[in-house]
Structure formats: structure tokens, C-alpha cells
Amino acid sequence: MSDIATQDFDRRNRDWYIDKLVQLVVFFGGISAIVFIIGIFVFITKEGFGFILNTMDPVEFFTSPYWEPSDEDAPEYGILALIAGTASVTGLALIVAIPFSLGAAIFVGEFATGKTRELLKILVELLAAIPSVVWGFIGLTIMNPIIIDLFDVPVGLTVLNAGIILGLMTAPIMTSIAEDALKAVPDRYREAAEAMGATRWQVIFKVVLPAAKNGLLGAVLLGVGRGFGETMAVLLATGHSVNIPDSVFDSVRALTATIAAELGETAVGSDHYQALFTIGIFLFVITFVINLTADLVVRGVRKG
């Protein structure tokens, strides 16, 4: 019994303290994401706050279509046209991306098997990796002349161009998230329906899609967030002119692209500089809401 009594469970040794130290260190890593997201909000607000307090007329800011910050006598800070630019491009992108990515997700997830499936998934993943500046370059150099020739219009850098580019960009991401949502539907649902004599497409439309509804909606929302925040591609492919578009053949300018194009020319702390940060705050808040909604929607399905 004596050797048992010598075992000491009441003394903390080196390993015990190392463990506590590691726990502390990784905890700081864990909260880093929270720190950074708050940090982003704090710093962009700090830079843009002076403008919001002193210069900005909130009604004019959101309802005026005139964005002329570099006019020395009477600068105008209205982002309505920029919002219209972003909305039109994102909207068109979604029209392009949603049907194709859902179709592709259904094909990859429900029809394709074995090697075909693997290959398609890899292709989709690689497409999602193409940098946005390359997409913008494609819009500028390849899509532009095609649109001019095809529709006989003077300029090819338009809502149409940027919408298609952005659609092609977001589609792979939406495809893989949507495919995950389909995969999350338990196989027993499919088996139960098939046991009742349903064919594959009946199973998909009557069972799988309704069950994956929330996940698919989440995929679409994340696509919206992506399109909304995309910068380089829309900078290069929209034509970059402040304009509320009448048709898809109009050039527009997006919120993100405005910041990218103008931040370099402004003096730190100037009204213009602060106005650009205010647009940044607006973008941050909108994408935050979109991402939050997407998360709540997707989580809803997990609980149910």
C-alpha cells in the first residue's frame, strides 16, 4: 500500500501548467476572429466617422444619384447610382448563377457517380479559385469585344458584361455550397421514397429539394454576399461610369469599385477619403446582415 500512497494526485506538475498555458494561447487564437471583425468595424468607422457627423446628409447620401466628390466648389456625395450599379450587376449575376449552379449541384450530387462526379467537383473547385482580377481582365479583354460584336452596341463594358462575369465567378461557389446542402439530406429519405416506387427525378423534386430548401437558400445568400462585395471584377467590367442603368447595355459603377478606384487619389482625412470609408461601413453592414441571415437560415435546417 505504501507505493500507492506515494502517488500524488494533488500536486500540479509541469505538464499541468503547460496544458493551461496552451489552453490560454489557443483561446486567444479562438477569439481572434471576433477581435478582427470588431477591429474592422472600429477602424473603418473611426476613419469615416467625421464625414458622417459633419458633412454627410443621410437623405442625400442614399437618395442622390450624383457622386462628384472631387468637385472643388460643391462636391456631391450621393451613392444611389452606385447602389443601383451594384444591385443591377449582382441581380444579373444571380439570374445567371442561380439556375446553373442549382442545376450543376443537382447533377453532381444526385446524378453523377464515381469518376465523373470526382472530376466535376474538382473542376468546380478550380473554377472557384480563379482570382477576381483575372475575371475582370477577362471581362475587359474577351467579353467586351464579344458583346460589342454580338449586340452591335458601342461599349461592351456594361451591366451585362459584369453580370455574366460575376455570375460565372459566383456559380462555382454556389454550386459547391448547394451540393453540400443536397448531400446533407439523409439517404434514408431517398431510400424511403424510392421504396415507394418514386423515380429518381421524383425523389429529387418531391423529397430532396424540399428537404434541402434552407441550405440552398443559404447558398444563394452567400452568393449574394459574394457578388455584392466583389471588387476587381466589377471595377474592370462595368465601364465604371456613375449611372442608374436603363438596360443591361448601360455602363455602371459599383460601390466597391468606387472605393478601389478613388482611395488612391484622396488625401488621408479629407472629406472624400472619409466618404469612401462611409461607403465601406455601408458595405460592411450589408454583408454582415446577409451573412448573418445565411447562417440563421442554414442553422434552422440543422435543428429541424
Amino acid at residue number 228: F
Stretch that binds other proteins, among 56-64, 73-81, 101-109, 183-191 (CB under 8 A): 101-109
Stretch that binds other proteins, among 29-37, 54-62, 63-71, 72-80 (CB under 8 A): 29-37
Angular region, 198: left φ>0, alpha ψ -120 to 50, beta rest: beta
| 103-107 contacts, C-beta under 8 A, 24 or more apart | 104/171, 104/175, 105/174, 105/175, 105/176, 105/178, 105/179, 105/181, 105/182, 105/219, 106/182, 106/204, 106/209
Q: Which of residues 265-294 bind other proteins (CB under 8 A)?
A: 268, 276-277, 280, 283-284, 287-288, 290-292, 294
Q: Which of 57, 201, 206, 210 binds other proteins (CB under 8 A)?
A: 201
Residues in the interface with other proteins (CB under 8 A) total 100
Residue placing its CB nearer to other proteins in the complex, 88 or 175? 175
Q: Does 295 bind other proteins (CB under 8 A)?
A: yes
Stretch that binds other proteins, among 55-63, 118-126, 185-193, 209-217 (CB under 8 A): 118-126
Distance CA 118, CA 10 (A): 55
Amino acid at residue number 295: D
Q: Does 125 bind other proteins (CB under 8 A)?
A: yes
Pairing, β 76-77 against β 67-68: antiparallel
Residue placing its CB nearer to other proteins in the complex, 12 or 59? 12
Q: Which of residues 212-241 bind other proteins (CB under 8 A)?
A: 222, 225-226, 228-232, 236
Q: Which of 15, 71, 73, 246 binds other proteins (CB under 8 A)?
A: 15
Q: Does 175 bind other proteins (CB under 8 A)?
A: yes
Distance CA 219, CA 179 (A): 9
Distance CA 77, CA 86 (A): 16
DSSP-derived letter for residue 239 is B
Q: Which of residues 145-164 bind other proteins (CB under 8 A)?
A: none
Q: Does 30 bind other proteins (CB under 8 A)?
A: yes
Q: Are 171 and 96 in contact (CB under 8 A)?
A: yes
- Tell me how far CA of residue 129 lies from CA of 57, 134, 170, 179, 201, in angstroms: 40, 10, 11, 17, 31
Q: Which of 200, 206, 210, 270 binds other proteins (CB under 8 A)?
A: 200
Stretch that binds other proteins, among 17-25, 77-85, 182-190, 243-251 (CB under 8 A): 17-25
Backbone angles phi, psi at 212, to 5 degrees: -95, 10
Q: Does 129 bind other proteins (CB under 8 A)?
A: yes
Q: Does 249 bind other proteins (CB under 8 A)?
A: no
CB of 239 to other proteins, least distance (A): 12
Stretch that binds other proteins, among 25-33, 65-73, 182-190, 241-249 (CB under 8 A): 25-33
Q: Which of 95, 133, 150, 192 binds other proteins (CB under 8 A)?
A: 133
Q: Which of 115, 199, 246, 302 binds other proteins (CB under 8 A)?
A: 199
Q: Which helix (H) or strand (E) holds 68?
A: strand 67-68
